[in-house]
Chains A and B, each alone.
Chain A
């Protein structure tokens, strides 16, 4: 199996998803099943093939690089209970 328990915990940490011990074995099994499935890609010769893209973006179609003022702070803060004045609150970050 390509993905061992240590790798599961590593990618969970990178993903910022807490995994408890009970879940770990099932997740490992599922991830290995998916990896086994996508390993089929190894059968193709990709020498000289470019990575996919949708083509060039037309510079004239892009927005001007200008500042837009968005000031309905109240609407934004309606979506959280964790606020203090106009700020979001989080656990203490610096000692």
Chain B
């Protein structure tokens, strides 16, 4: 089998070939290493761990076919730079964590290694996962493997998990970890023709994932297809005594759920999630998805989530508030960047200069706004009020899930946009990208983005399915049924090698 084809396979197909001994884990890993080495123009991988990968592959080759074999044996993965990996440089794409080497491993990545997956390296992202275009990374932006028809413009792969989405779309790994605080898995998946799943809050442990907004952050997979998403999610999920918000509930075998009939499924369409331009390819693709569901015997139900318009303002109070607290730990004392001090500088100057030099513009902006909404005199007007509105948004979903099983929405207002084209004059312009993804984070609900086709520009478009709490099996099966009919092929022209 030629190497190009080998790296197009994804998790399930690679697993099947490994099990049949038609390929070896070493062969598969080497094929990915070659692809990564040719991909510097994409700027997706920021740290590679090829020696470790080849050692893991060699071990996997000895285990495959034995009783010791686990679910991801020999499967090469990429890891978002937000996950602490023991003895591997981890910076959350920020200067303030300059050369930080974690002495411990995050629970989610440890689970992947326990399942005998192979680690190819760390993936680029927005600094501290704050961004929707990957442009806030200290390593510079990731470039989307996809380009508009007839154009050479560099497009964003989305953010914050842009390295993960680009790497999966460009066949640099079988699948990748991402994290999603306001859409950071689903929006990049939508922009790159990949599948991105944000699980229910509490499904995956947050321990060892560098914190942004703790009541929103969730880890999840970015993969080539829904089956791979199911396989990877199972390995990542589960209760962890080190994260008190992780849920003590059973982890289903998501892959087993796939392929079930969805006849009678009630699919909700919320009027608040309509696209501004009704006469667009994006709208036609959404209509196509609705038609597919109808043909499969699903029932389409019009629903309303009346507080949707307040979701983004709520998020932009609460997430920065939590970030300002979480990021208070970066003081230059114990690790990461420390500013050069003048002779008479005090410890206060150490903190202030270090944080001024170490954080980028967007991160500083969010720390400052978060500090403001939590400060004396403003707490009730902003933070407390936003917490109450968050309840109203959650109540909207609770009401709707009495009438439907799944909600269908667009993932993003547009397809991938050119780098440098948004948010340079007005930060809120960039925030608007997350308009359809943020509500699921506010309510803690699971949601998946999967590709539905290409738009007028020849760029991938995603649709989002939102499920009720812990309904990942239903969510994945519904996505699987839609994916099978759509038969989208993720094959961007390989311009980067």
Contacts and interface: CB of A to CB of B under 8 A. Distances in A.
**B and A form one assembly:** yes
Interface of A: 3, 7-8, 10-12, 14-19, 27, 30-31, 33-35, 37-44, 46, 49-52, 54, 57-58, 61-63, 72, 75-76, 78-82, 88, 90-93
Interface stretch (B117-125, B224-232, B345-353): B345-353
Contact of B364 (A17, A39, A43, A90): A17
A16 B367 CA distance: 10
B372 A31 contact: yes
Contacts of B390: 51-52
Contact of A34 (B100, B316, B389): B316
A84 B494 CA distance: 52
Given A17-B364, A18-B353, A88-B334, A52 B382 contact: no
B38 to A, nearest CB: 33
B80 interface: no
A11 B444 contact: no
B165 to A, nearest CB: 26
A58 B248 CA distance: 9
Nearest to B348: A16
Contact of A63 (B241, B317, B334): B241
Interface residues of B, number: 69
Nearest to A58: B248
Given A18-B356, A82-B338, A91-B347, A37 B428 contact: yes
Nearest to B386: A41
Given A51-B384, A52-B391, A91 B352 contact: no
4 closest Cβ pairs, A-B complex: A75-B103, A79-B335, A52-B390, A51-B387
A17 B386 contact: no
A52 B387 contact: yes
B372 A41 contact: no
A78 B101 contact: yes
Contacts of A61: 239, 244, 248
Contacts of B310: 40-41, 43-44
B63 interface: no
Contacts of A49: 388-389, 391-392
B371 A15 contact: yes
Contact of B201 (A12, A46, A54): A54
Interface string B412-431: 00000000000000111001
Interface in B423-479: 426-428, 431, 442, 444
A63 B207 CA distance: 14
A18 B359 CA distance: 11
Given A18-B352, A76-B334, 7 more contacts: A17-B364, A33-B427, A49-B392, A51-B391, A52-B391, A79-B336, A88-B333
B437 to A, nearest CB: 17
B314 interface: yes
25 contacts: A11-B372, A15-B367, A17-B352, A17-B356, A27-B364, A31-B369, A31-B372, A41-B382, A41-B385, A49-B389, A49-B391, A50-B388, A51-B391, A52-B394, A61-B244, A61-B248, A72-B103, A79-B99, A79-B101, A79-B335, A79-B336, A80-B334, A80-B335, A82-B338, A88-B333
Contacts of A18: 349, 352-353, 355-356
A27 B360 CA distance: 12
Contacts of B23: none
A42 B248 contact: no
B309 interface: yes
B331 A16 contact: yes
Nearest to A60: B248
A22 to B, nearest CB: 12
Interface string B94-118: 0000011101000000000000000
Q: Which of A41, A43, A92 has the most CB of B within 10 A?
A: A41
